[in-house]
Amino acid sequence: GRYIASEFAVTDNSAVARGFGCFGVQIGDSRDLPGAIRDAQASGLPAVIDVLIDRGPSPDDWRANVRRAGET
């Protein structure tokens, strides 16, 4: 497809946070979020919780498809 903006590789933002002396954790399952929040609060540090998400189509793509479908 055609890109209008930049597409970045996956960055481990939690590792960047740890490099700056902050608490950082990366999770890939929403069920892990409550524990990650508890751990972040318990650390007493500024925190980054890096939540990995599916790189599916953006909502804007979905809206464009709905508009196109309505034009036919």
Write down how long the chain is: 72
Query: Which residues lie across from 50 on neighbouring strands?
Result: 26
One-letter amino acid at 7 equals: E
Per-residue pLDDT, 8: 76
Over the stretch 36-72, which tens digit does the pLDDT of each residue have? 999 999 999 999 999 998 777 666 666 676 676 766 5
Per-residue pLDDT, 19: 98
What is the spatial distance between Cα 69 and Cα 32, in angstroms, rounded to a whole number? 38
Contact 26, 13 (CB under 8 A): yes
